[in-house]
Amino acid sequence: MSVLFSALDQVMSVMHLSYLMLGVVIGLIVGIIPGLGGIAGMSLLLPFIYGMDASVGLGMLMGLVAVVPTGDTFTSVLMGIPGSSSSQATVMDGFPLAKKGQAARALSAAFLSSMIGGVVGAIILSIFILVARPVVLAFSSAELFMLTLLGLSVVASLSGGSVYKGLAACGMGLLIGTIGGAPATGDFRFTFDIDYLYDGIPLIVVGLGIFALPEIISLLIKNKSIASKGNQLGHGLGQGLKDVMKNLPLVGRSSVFGSLVGAIPGLGGSVVDWMTYSFAMGASKDKSQFGKGEIKGVIAPESANNACSCGSMIPTILFGVPGSGSAAVFLGGMLLLGIQPGVSMVSTHLDLTYTIIWSLALANILGAALCIFLTRPISMLTYIKFSILAPVILTLILFAAYQATRSFGDFMALGVIALIGVFMKSANWPRPAFLIGFVLSAGAENYFFQSIQFYEYSWFTRPGVLIIGALILCGLFLPPLFRKAMRKRQTQEEIEAAETVVNNFSLDIWIAGLFLMVAVVFGYQVWGEQTLTSAFPLIAVALLGGSSLMVIINHLRHRKLIETAEIRQGLVYIAGFFVMAILYFELGFLTTTFFFTLLFIYFFARAGIVKSTSVAVGLLVFLLVMGRLMSVDYPEGLLDGYVLAVANMI
């Protein structure tokens, strides 16, 4: 106990606090800028780390790692761009809230949830870390596989009206997730001899493609400001905080769940937000608002993702095996400070461990407070006419995607996924199901084969497997039963309202047909490979193909209900995106950003020359500063050499 407070004493020293604050500020900046996240922030701080006092250095790193999932909420809510992989579920309801003019409410609710989540996570961490070793070791490959199944079962509740569409989307995600090396054999699958595909498609590119680009396109087609309803900005802030207070049990549950999932190495934080999102949905009496701007859909994932980043410190500190991407970077920082993670962290370095935990809690509080402070000015963005914001957002998206592997492939993959995204958005196919399939694909396959190879078929009877299996069954079958019981009490009107699901039939058949074709091509490609390589993709192909077929059959049965959907405009914009992506790459990122922004705002948004020039110059300066400070690279293309030369002179 005395160690706990002597560590607090140390954390509260001016030196420690100021470095922690530095970490928090940098963490917020890289969190707000989509695509950067903890890794970019670390590359900014690491040069200073070497030779620093260990507890101060740890405080600074912790400040950074802790607030990244807080800062990334801004773009998720305001622009529909998932700032990092841990805030993808926040987009689902956060962005619709912004569209309703309640951006400030969504943001303040998100930040308060983040703060509580982070503090709960830190508390759990401080107790759990002393006893966590056997618990973490109890999660073998078999239990990890079951956890990925638990994640996948969430698809059922996110599928909305149509189960088959959900399954097909999930199958598509699973299949795209198998691109690259087969974990069990090392064979490469579906690479089509393109170097880029050997590593698989990066998650951030998939997230941007499936959510952000389709949103931008539909907003551009409407060409209004993001917030379409009246100005309620002033009320929003307090309302959001009140929302959190009203939903404290949800915050608590999500935080605890988030920190536990984070504590298990190998599952990754990117799924925890979806899981808590679906739990929030399952536990609500009125599900109709989810996906349209339900505040609970913001609160749950935001509580969970900060808690998760606390939890992911457990395997990092105890085993030296990082529980998440930013934890991996934190691990590198620890090594540079000369601290070896492992059991000794609790036995001989307990003071340092508690320094980490205190810093974590403090950083979460400071970060969220700063964000709440910034909410009102930044939310104003949603009232700007969208065509002025569009080039800025497009540049940010391309910037974020390019940080994934820094190759042209990032742009192309983004365009292809965005095409799927535009189709799915127009016809109301559940895009989260796609993303969850993608996120869990590698884990599901890897842990399945590992558990079979380690335990043969006896793994079915492991107690952990049985418990998680029971949880999955409860999750799948209780909510429908519950709903049935509820429905008896509903009025006739409500039932009718619930049953008029808006579907877009003529587009459905196109999407299902496309998916079926993908299933056939991929199935043909992998057919005949050795079992360990082909089994999992074939399961995905079967799921994708079968569900797509069912969608088509359903469609043919209900031919009378056919409605047409407007998709042509969306496709034109996707084609435009590819053209822009090529220009950004071939002419140079900086040059294209400048001229595209200038011309787009001047001609398309019909703004004055002053306005268009200042936006274009501002964006260019921003990119140049980023490039200088964070050693970020851009595609140079033909012309950027000149721009950089001028910039260097200044």
Instruction: Single out the residue of 396, 342, 454 nearest to residue 589, CA to CA.
Output: 396
Among 8, 185, 378, 602, interactor with another protein by CB under 8 A: 185
Distance CA(257)–CA(461), nearest Å, equals 24
Q: Which of 54, 336, 514, 535 binds another protein (CB under 8 A)?
A: 336
Query: Interface with another protein includes 335 (CB under 8 A)?
Result: yes
* Closer Cβ to another protein, 429 or 536, answer by number: 536
Distance CA 378, CA 328 (A): 31
DSSP string, 538-600: HHHHHHHHHHHHHHHHHHHHTGGG------HHHHHHHHHHHHHHHHHHHH-HHHHHHHHHHHI
Q: Is 188 helix (H, G, I), strand (E, B) or coil?
A: strand
Taking the complex as a whole, how short is the minimal distance between the CB of residue 262 and another protein, in angstroms?
16
Answer yes or no whether residue 8 interacts with another protein by CB under 8 A. no
Residue 648 found at the interface with another protein (CB under 8 A): yes
Q: What contacts 605, CB < 8 A, 6 or more positions away?
A: 385, 387, 388, 390, 612
Q: Give the chain's length.
A: 650
Report the site for another protein in 65-104 (rule: CB under 8 A): none
Calpha distance 9→6 (Å, rounded): 5
Q: List Cβ neighbours of 570 (8 Å cut-off, separation of 6 or more).
A: 214, 217, 218, 221, 422, 426
Give the HSE-up count for residue 72: Cα atoms under 13 Å, Cβ half-sphere. Answer: 31
Q: Give 511 or 643: the residue with its C-beta nearer to another protein.
A: 643
Residue 369 binding another protein, by CB under 8 A:
no
Select from 13, 223, 453, 458 the one that contacts another protein (CB under 8 A).
Answer: 453
Q: What is the DSSP string of 323-340?
A: SSHHHHHHHHHHHHTT--
Residue 351 interacts with another protein (CB under 8 A)? Answer: no
Q: Which of residues 119-138 bind another protein (CB under 8 A)?
A: 137-138
Q: Does 232 engage in binding with another protein (CB under 8 A)?
A: no
User: Is residue 166 near another protein by the rule CB under 8 A?
Assistant: no
Using CB under 8 A, which residues numbered 456 to 515 contact another protein?
none
Phi and psi angles of residue 180, each rounded to the nearest 5 degrees, phi first: 115, -160
CA-to-CA distance for 548 and 609, rounded, in angstroms?
50
* Site map 19..58 versus another protein, x via CB under 8 A: --------------------x--xx--xx--xx-------
Q: Quick check: 4 binds another protein (CB under 8 A)?
A: no
* Of 241, 222, 204, 245, residue with least CA distance to 99: 222
Of residues 222, 224, 406, 611, which one binds another protein by CB under 8 A? Answer: 406
Among 32, 168, 184, 420, binds another protein (CB under 8 A): 184
Q: How many other CB atoms are there within 10 angstroms of residue 490's CB atom?
A: 13
The answer to whether 402 contacts another protein (rule: CB under 8 A) is no
Q: Is 449 in the site for another protein (CB under 8 A)?
A: yes
Please state the closest distance from residue 196 (CB atom) to another protein, in A: 9
Min separation Cβ 317 and another protein, Å: 13
Tell me the closest approach of the beta carbon of residue 639 to another protein, in angstroms. Answer: 9
Counting residues that bind another protein (by CB under 8 A) gives 59
Is 542 one of the binding residues for another protein (CB under 8 A)? Answer: no
- Tell me which residues touch another protein (CB under 8 A): 39, 42-43, 46-47, 50-51, 137-141, 181, 183-187, 195, 198-199, 265-266, 319-322, 328-333, 335-336, 338, 340, 342-344, 405-407, 446, 449-450, 453-455, 530, 631, 633, 641-643, 645-646, 648-649
